[in-house]
Amino acid sequence: MIIETREFTRVEGNGKAEIVIEGNEVKDVRVKIVEGPRFFELLTLGRDFWDVPDLEARICAICYLSHSVASVLAIERALGVEVPEETRLLRELGLIGELIESHSLHLYLLVAPDLFGYPDAIRLATKHGELVKEGIALKAFGNRIRDLIGGREIHGINVKPGGFGRWPGREELEAIEWEAKALLTVAKRAVRLFSGIGEYGGRAELFVATDGYLTGDSLISNVERNFQYFERIEERPLVYSFAKQSLYSGKPFLVGSLARLLLKAESLTPTAKRLFEENRERLEAGWVSYNNLAQVIELVYALERAGEIAKTLLDKGFEPENVPVEAGDGEGIGYVEAPRGVLVHHYRIADGKIEYSNIITPTAFNHAMMEGALLWEARNLYGNAPEDELLRRLEETVRAFDPCISCSVHFVRG
């Protein structure tokens, strides 16, 4: 017998799950990504490198800037371009803005209704209007940063190889420093709310992240340091899904907020570090549901870090100068921590044109783990709880991964 869930709601993109039951036992769970294929790497082949980040940004609206930055980093590495500190800091600020926008969308508008038993944030707002408004204020702030650095709230084209189209000015950075400080109180309040979340979705054992907090030169995990994605991670296509599945040394693994906190807590800002220490034991237990708690701690980190970056740039001062980029040959990988986890863009460029392109998104990295988490929940609840409760819990488990299904459906064979 197969129980099929309806399409997941309050997640980005279209997907569902199938629970395979044999002889009254849960045998398997398959996560079916039914979002159509999108062929993004094919689209970039033969294109001029300069245009590619703007196209790749369109893989995802929630994390477009992560895609632009990963794409730009891969291109700069391939063409041997070094950018100065202020360019790197401004890109980090953009990624921080994206983290704020994405985490607050997920926590306040997608997860919070579950905590209070409402179908959505709009109905939740009738009773808890302040909470929803706080979430919206955080989201709007994240988007203001994306607009400033990325050139638009969604799919901006301002992040370019070598620098930016338009550089932010002093007043704009001052506003960010000030607003980040004001919103920190709101995020700290949210930690209390989301730390009430229960344990579900099984326990992850393997975690992968980039070696820097939001960008990096290589990957790290809880079993080894500094490896390239193709040395350890294998992708395989599935007959029942438009998204491929990745395994790390043959095993499912977790990327995203929880993985980042567990692998890189030493890089956190003071308040975020304190909150991490307070919750360390629970986070280290590895329950998938604690990805929500990890996200809310990261929200505090992001607000503190946004203020820090703005202040550093303001104190130091900077000249808006782009590094010239010449068309040439080369190969490069851009590693970025998108809000949902590790994102890889890998290109080979010949005479300024893309001739090989490979992209792996966080949701694809998490796909196998997601099936494992659902299997764990299904085995736990099947026969012990009514079917609608089982299905609701499965949906909550999927939501804890904060999947981005649109991102996951456009892989090209390496």
Q: Which residues bind other proteins (CB under 8 A)?
A: 7-14, 34-43, 47-48, 51, 54-55, 58-62, 64, 105, 109-110, 119-123, 136, 139-140, 143, 151-158, 160, 164-166, 237, 239-242, 244, 395, 404, 406, 409-413
- Minimum CB separation of residue 9 from other proteins in Å reads 4
CA atoms of 177 and 306, how far apart (whole Å) = 7
Pick the closer one to other proteins by CB: 12 or 86. Answer: 12
- Minimum separation from the CB atom of position 70 to other proteins (A): 15
- The whole-angstrom distance between residue 257's C-alpha and the CA centroid of its chain comes to 8
- 342 Cβ partners below 8 Å, 6+ apart? 208, 209, 210, 219, 229, 255, 335, 336, 360, 362, 365
Hey, how many other C-beta atoms are within 10 angstroms of the C-beta on 13? 20
Strands 25-33 and 219-221: unpaired
Nearer to other proteins (CB atom), residue 192 or residue 413: 413
Q: How many residues does the chain have?
A: 414
- Look at the block and give the residue holding tokens 């400033």: 148
Identity of the residue numbered 52: V
Q: How far is the CB of 381 from other proteins (least distance, A)?
A: 18
**What minimum distance in Å lies between the beta carbon of 110 and other proteins?**
8
Distance of closest approach, residue 10 Cβ to other proteins, in angstroms: 6
Bridge partners of 19, per DSSP, are 3, 29
Question: Least distance in Å: CB of 318 to other proteins?
Answer: 17
Q: Which is nearer to other proteins, 120 or 284 (CB)?
A: 120
- Nearest approach in angstroms of CB 16 to other proteins is 10
Q: Among residues 100 and 191, whose Cβ is nearest to other proteins?
A: 100
Measured torsion, CA atoms of residues 123, 35, 242, 48, in degrees rounded to the nearest 10: -120
Q: Closer CB to other proteins, residue 115 or residue 412? A: 412
The residues, any chain, with a CB within 8 Å of residue 332's CB and separated by 6 or more, are: 73, 74, 75, 76, 77, 78, 79, 346, 347, 349
Supply 390's token pair. Answer: 């089982």
Least distance from other proteins to the Cβ atom of residue 121, Å? 7
Query: Rounded CA gap, 292 and 284, in Å?
Result: 14
* Cβ-Cβ contacts under 8 Å for 185 (sequence gap 6 or more): none
Cα 61 to chain center, whole Å? Answer: 12
**What end-to-end distance do the CA atoms of the chain give, in Å?**
36
310-to-151, 173, 182, 200 alpha-carbon distances in Å:
17, 5, 14, 38
Rounded to a whole number of angstroms, the minimum distance from the CB of residue 125 to other proteins is 8
Q: Indicate the residue among 83 and 149 with the shorter CB distance to other proteins.
A: 149
Q: Which is nearer to other proteins, 43 or 268 (CB)?
A: 43
Q: Which is nearer to other proteins, 62 or 73 (CB)?
A: 62
When the beta carbons of 35 and 298 are compared against other proteins, the nearer one is 35
